[in-house]
Structure 1
Amino acid sequence: MSNKKKSSRQAVRKLVVRTNPHSISTEQYRTIRTNILFSMPADDMKTILFTSPSKEEGKSTTCSNMAVVFAESGKRVLMIDGDMRRPTLHHTFHMSNKSGLSNLLLGKGRLADTIKKSGVKNLDLLLCGQIPGNPAELLQSHEMDVLLKEVREMYDLILIDSPPLLAVADSKILANKCDGSVLIINTGKTEKASVVKARDALVTAKAFVIGVVLNNFDLAKNHSYYQNYGS
């Protein structure tokens, strides 16, 4: 991989809410946080899945930044890297991915030893761990149900990053297990047919769809308003 490609991928994974807390993008994440809280029909909704129709639509970046803004609001948050095919959470927080979710589901390790501190107050991480050969089966397992039940008792909110809906079965499995799902759509890339298929996949999984996030939306028309408002 060229240095140019490396720097591009690293830029995508930046936690803008930490590096630029007063930016327009950060305010948008805070707005999404508010909208999610207003859209959740019950206080006992704790597990939220972040997914997208296809790859490279910004779901992992969105989930990571949302985890930080929820933690900054005072909630005890756990972010789980449920993408056991192309995990990214360890890159975002610059950590080793030697142990994580896959290890726990295979009965290797203890939850208390596997959860990691993120460096952000109130935010803990459960990385993917070693990439398994059977991710869908592990996510469908009784061990996954037990894990989710256990972390529900430990945290106010659990955010799960998952693979794209139209690529593999993993996200549909997780959507059925979570209290709510958020669909991330790349405004300049995602085709309408893919959005409809992704919505239908969530409906089939009997998921509660909290809402849709339009990623890479052009704010050029309102840029001056935001700049003046924040000055």
Structure 2
Amino acid sequence: MLVTIKEPRSLIAETYRTLRTNVSYASIDKPIRTLLITSPEPGDGKTTTICNLGVVLAQNGKKVVIADCDLRRPRVHTYFGLPNRQGMSTLFAHNDIVPGVLKSTPVEGLTVITSGSLPPNPSELMGSQKIKTIFSTLLETADIILIDTPPTLTVTDAATLAPSLDGMILVVRPGITRTNALKQTLEQLRQVNARVLGIVLNDVPTKGNPYGYHYNYYHNYSAYKDYYEEKVVEKKGK
């Protein structure tokens, strides 16, 4: 759900604006212009997070491109009600940005590149020089590119692409995302020298919150680990 469009004054929308601020200050000397958002496992909320973050960044005056690089199970187009006939996979077969691939949205400044038809070799495409050229071309007119990929433990796409980007954020769900899955993901990303900027906690229950959940953002794993393991123990003890 694009809560940042449908309910812009809600608590949840405000937490996305907080995430926007965190991303903006993640690197002072070199602004983040290519940001990958993914998760250790399916169902953690990575696509919901990336689409809503794209909205609030554009609402703040940024020229934003959301690129759906999940060339296995794409979902970005469903959030914005866009056709998916052409997209990222189309660009790999052309030397220029093909008309119609950059799709407009109701939010001024926000455009989307859907996945397009699903290719047989997504991991090879994510590690190619071609995708770097595509992003470089897009950055001639965009302030930031938000990149959605499959979960890290499902396939190697995110780990293959991450080292060439300015940073990445992991989305997890306390009590759902397995601790070992997060540890394995972080180790995998460390081995490829990916720059993990932080961790978003999705679907965190809170007392007195009419929406029933909110988002937290941690800049380091140790802070998240303490919170996460405490909540898991608490949940198991009930």
Same fold (TM over 0.5): yes
The residue type paired with residue 164 of structure 2 is K
Query: Residue 188 of structure 1: CA displacement?
Result: 2.6
Give the structure 2 partner of residue 189 of structure 1.
Answer: 176
How many residues get paired?
A: 211
Offset from partner CA, 1:211-230 (integer Å, 9 cap, x none): 00000011225669xxxxxx
Query: Residue 108 of structure 1: CA displacement?
Result: 8.1
CA distance in 2 between partners of 1:87 and 1:42 (Å):
33
Bigger relative contact order, structure 1 or 2, given CA contacts below 8 A and separation 6+? 1
Give the structure 1 partner of residue 202 of structure 2.
Answer: 215
The residue type paired with residue 183 of structure 2 is V
The residue type paired with residue 2 of structure 2 is L
Query: Residue 40 of structure 1: CA displacement?
Result: 2.3
Query: Residue 111 of structure 1: CA displacement?
Result: 3.7
Q: Which of 124, 127, 130 is residue 143 of structure 1 equivalent to?
A: 130
Give the structure 2 partner of residue 70 of structure 1.
Answer: 57
* Contact residue 65 and residue 111 of structure 2 kept, 8 A: yes
* Contact residue 81 and residue 101 of structure 1 kept, 8 A: yes
Give the structure 2 partner of residue 157 of structure 1.
Answer: 144
Instruction: With the length of structure 1 as denominator, give the TM-score of the two structures.
Output: 0.87
Identity %: 35
Unaligned runs of 5+ in 1: 1-13, 225-231
Q: Which of 88, 99, 107 is residue 86 of structure 2 equivalent to?
A: 99
Q: Which of 62, 74, 86 is residue 73 of structure 2 equivalent to?
A: 86
CA distance in 1 between partners of 2:82 and 2:176 (Å):
30
* Contact residue 45 and residue 180 of structure 1 kept, 8 A: yes
Q: Which of 44, 47, 50 is residue 37 of structure 2 equivalent to?
A: 50
CA distance in 2 between partners of 1:204 and 1:77 (Å):
29
CA distance in 2 between partners of 1:45 and 1:138 (Å):
23
Range with bigger deviation, 35-44 or 64-73: 35-44
Range with bigger deviation, 204-213 or 51-60: 204-213
Q: Which has the higher helix share?
A: 1
CA distance in 2 between partners of 1:67 and 1:160 (Å):
10
Give the structure 1 partner of residue 214 of structure 2.
Answer: none
* Contact residue 24 and residue 31 of structure 2 kept, 8 A: no
Offset from partner CA, 1:90-138 (integer Å, 9 cap, x none): 1111111000001111238734431111121110111100011111111
* Contact residue 89 and residue 118 of structure 2 kept, 8 A: yes
